[in-house]
Amino acid sequence: MTHDAAVAEGGAADAGVASAAELAGSLRTVVGRLSHQLRVPAASQGVTPTRLSALIALERAGVLRPSVLAASLGITPASTSRLVESLESEAWVNRGVDPDDGRACLLSLTAEGSAMLARLRSETDSMLADDLAALAPEARRTLADALPVLIELADRWVAPTRDE
């Protein structure tokens, strides 16, 4: 394959630089492995990925209607109802009346829910910091240099587009 053909297919223009497809596969694998390990503390406390996503969504938004939470999580209203009941039973979420529509409810994170998220973040940060401290200084520098690019990629996936 010629240089121009490789570049046109997302390949590397410079020798020794991985193609976009190669980077994508490697990045997906390593992010998946890290993500799994970072979920261990939550799972050990009965916080499923869906519960965690719901709590983080409520933390970011402040208050949400159940229908908005369902849409953001990509789950059905029935699943959302069961999810909210389980979060309420742990005292992590409050269900209040919407002042603009007395028939609707608003969900918010409780102090207990905020504290639980803070504990999980602290535990996962500590685990990750221990492993990062074991890396050679040059490896930590390389990782620090890559963070802006990783953040940019993450923002492309989670940030809404202007057309939305």
pLDDT at 16: 73
Residue 13, classed as helix, strand or coil, is coil
pTM: 0.75
**Residues 6 or more apart whose Cβ sits within 8 Å of residue 55:** 47, 87, 92, 93, 109, 113, 116, 117
Q: What is the mean pLDDT of the chain?
A: 87
pLDDT in tens, 15-63: 678 899 999 999 999 999 999 898 888 988 889 999 999 999 999 999 9
For range 102-130, the mean pLDDT: 95
Q: Which of 61, 60, 42, 62 is nearest to 52 (CA)?
A: 42
Interval 142-158: pLDDT, tens: 999 999 999 999 888 87
Q: What angle do CA 115, 73, 22 make, to 5 degrees?
A: 100
> What do you get for the CA distance between the two ends of the chain, in Å?
40
